Structure 1
Amino acid sequence: MTIAAAAYPLDWCHSFDDYAGKLRDWVAGAAGQGADLLVFPEYGAMELASLGGAEVAADLQGALSEVARHAPQVDEVLAGLAAEHGVYILGASGPVFTGKRPVNRAVLYGPQGVIGHQDKQIMTPFERDDWDVTAGRDGLAVFDTPIGRLGVVICYDSEFPLLSRALAEAGVEILLAPSCTETEAGFTRVRVGSMARALENQCVVVQAPLIGTAPWCAGVEENTGRAAIYGPPDIGWPANGVLAEGEMDAPGWTLAQVSRARIRQTRAKGGVLTLQHWPEQSARLSRPIQVITTS
């Protein structure tokens, strides 16, 4: 299959039709290049805050509420585009209110409509302290689709190995890691985490970042990154584990072809077998740690 990762900038939208038109153009662009799976970034939905006007968009809580208000319309547009082009789309994540405080939710769409969603599991300090966005309560989701078994680790989640490990043990072959990072250091953390998850779990990881500036939107004023698709650095894969990557902070799609058969072969007969050998850590850790002191 062909996977497309978006390096996606935020734009001011004067109407919901502006936003829908932008999505149509982006999806058509990736589908026109043969993409089967399209991945949009974390908090890419925040440009919908512009529909509330400048004062709302500049206010942290106002922006979250305004974006959440449009979630049903976004579902309708992206489900329609997935059906029109016969593709699978991980939509840009955004706030959804399931209680008094929002979760950070990414929704997966397919040709038949909405497949399901994944809420971010571990919140960054900014999300906890400034936005008061809460962790999802539904746990992890595995999406068993005709193009493969997919899992989602939103940004910070990709930096914690046990989340991805649980998904890999549930048969996930492709991890989707939409991200939103202000600095190059933040982007690098997600990049390193994503590459490590591909190594540990002998799978493909797709990083799709928010990029560019949006000084009018609270919380996502500056965004840095590059889109990339990673695999395990093993037999039959690129030696550096990078299947494809875009230019830094350059908007557009980055595409790579991925073979599910190669993932299965690597997990069964790779140069190393990190997926199979993972449980051996427990046996080693059950032994006392030796503290060796030197003078």
Structure 2
Amino acid sequence: MKNILEIVFESKMSEKKVNNYLRRLHGFSRGNFILKKKGKVRVACVEREIKVTNSFEEYAERMRKFVEEAALKGSDIVAFPEYNFFDLLGLIPGFGKLNNFLNKKAKSEEVSNSEGGGGEGLLKVIFKSISKAYQEAYEKIMRDFAKRYGIYIYTGSYIITENGNLYNGGTLISREGEILGRQKKIHLTDFEEKIGIKRDEELKVFSLDIGKIACPVCMDATYFETFRMAFEKGAEIVILPIANMEEYNFWRALRGIWPRVQESYVYGAKASLNGWIGGIHFTGKAAIFAPIDMTENEDGIIAIAPHYEGDYVVTSDLDIERLYEVREKAEYFKDVNEEFEKDYYEKVYENFRRVKDEK
């Protein structure tokens, strides 16, 4: 039997409402595209602020404007952040006032995001209640946007329900509006484990006409193995959606994707969520990274948003051929300690699998 939240979400994001919204959209002229240099792949990463709303149509229009901006800049692909659905928690009756109260309370008391505040059971109910209706509605509008603007879209992550389990994952959509596949998060935060989100066990690499792309999720970049596996599977571009529950620090913000790019010699594209919701503060800059010897300032940064809060579309051209050239010239790239790695993987991953099987 459906609970009241499921009924509310299904009503607010019904197929009829989604179809009516899409029918009202005006056409788009691809002649507005900015031409990019031959042989380059233009990537766009969205940094956006959470803006709680009680209207799916309003939310969809915000997403469309980001896609349109990326398309107008001539981008081949646009990537959205982790937990890209938080705005729609405003569909919960009374959530707007509660959210304002919690945010003001957190700001005045300077509550640390890392402390948490319980309520994991309630969040699990909310996430499970919103997941089916949101996934169907969101994927439908993104498929339309991809086809309308002729651009690949990585949806950012949201809650996916499979066989009664909740996952944090995202979807890659083709220029023709077809779903190419989904990638669910492999390494979870303590917060996600507490609310019952399950981990995935496979990292996928998608072969597109613009290159080979992997789409791990946020915490996955904390571990060098994730990007190493992406490289071994042929990835040239790794898209990473994030939603960091912490006050911004430039050096702390580099701790995930930046070193992974330097180790694995891939391009890294980070999309970021920011703002306040439920008394929790999210910060982070959208950015595009490359190995340091491929960047003008030798800092590994190709492009980065000017501020860690607000709305931006960060865009840059990536040269896949040059990436391979730099890999070949890299003095220490692909150096391995086979004895250590064999011992490491057996201890960490085989033991993890054994403990999981025992449970």
Superposition TM-score, scaled by structure 1 size: 0.86
Aligned twin of 1:240: 299
What amino acid is the match of 2:189? T
**More divergent stretch after superposition (109-118 vs 47-56):** 47-56
Aligned-pair identity in percent equals: 23
Aligned-residue offset at 1:8: 1.3
Distance 1:6 1:281 in 2: 38
What amino acid is the match of 1:28? E
Q: Is the 8 A contact 2:295 2:302 kept in 1?
A: no
Aligned twin of 1:86: 150
Sort the Cα spacing of 1:72 and 1:235 in 2 relative to 1 into closer, same or farther, 3 A. Answer: closer
The one of 5, 13, 32 equivalent to 2:53 is 13
Q: Is the 8 A contact 2:248 2:283 kept in 1?
A: no
Q: Is the 8 A contact 1:5 1:207 kept in 2?
A: yes
What amino acid is the match of 1:127? E
Distance 2:244 2:206 in 1: 26
Which consecutive unaligned segments of at least 5 residues does structure 1 have? 288-295
Distance 1:99 1:223 in 2: 30
Distance 2:160 2:323 in 1: 34
**More divergent stretch after superposition (224-233 vs 184-193):** 184-193
**More divergent stretch after superposition (43-52 vs 23-32):** 43-52
Distance 2:163 2:242 in 1: 24
Matching of residue 260 in structure 1 with residue 320 in structure 2: yes
The one of 198, 211, 219 equivalent to 2:274 is 211
Give the match's secondary structure for 2:258: helix
Q: CA RMSD in A?
A: 2.3
Query: When you count helix as a share of all residues, which structure comes out higher?
Result: 2
Aligned-residue offset at 1:206: 1.0
Aligned-residue offset at 1:11: 1.6
Task: String of CA shifts for 1:199-249, please: whole Å, max 9, x gaps.
Answer: 11111111111111123xxxx831111111110012565400000111222
Aligned-residue offset at 1:6: 1.1
Aligned twin of 1:293: none
Sort the Cα spacing of 1:183 and 1:273 in 2 relative to 1 into closer, same or farther, 3 A. Answer: same
Sort the Cα spacing of 1:27 and 1:235 in 2 relative to 1 into closer, same or farther, 3 A. Answer: closer
Aligned twin of 1:162: 225
TM alignment of 1:1-295, pairs within 5 A? 1-55=41-95, 59-68=122-131, 69-112=133-176, 113-129=178-194, 131-137=195-201, 139-184=202-247, 189=252, 191-215=254-278, 221-235=280-294, 238-246=297-305, 247-270=307-330, 272-274=331-333, 276-277=334-335, 280-283=336-339
Sort the Cα spacing of 1:244 and 1:267 in 2 relative to 1 into closer, same or farther, 3 A. Answer: same
Q: Is the 8 A contact 1:181 1:187 kept in 2?
A: no
Superposition TM-score, scaled by structure 2 size: 0.72
Aligned-residue offset at 1:99: 3.0
Aligned-residue offset at 1:25: 1.0
Aligned-residue offset at 1:55: 4.6
Sort the Cα spacing of 1:224 and 1:26 in 2 relative to 1 into closer, same or farther, 3 A. Answer: same
Q: Is the 8 A contact 1:231 1:237 kept in 2?
A: no
Look at both structures and tell me which one has the larger radius of gyration over its CA atoms: 2
Give the match's secondary structure for 1:17: helix
Sort the Cα spacing of 1:284 and 1:94 in 2 relative to 1 into closer, same or farther, 3 A. Answer: closer
Distance 2:249 2:174 in 1: 31
Which consecutive unaligned segments of at least 5 residues does structure 2 have? 1-40, 100-121, 344-359
Sort the Cα spacing of 1:64 and 1:265 in 2 relative to 1 into closer, same or farther, 3 A. Answer: same
Give the match's secondary structure for 1:195: helix
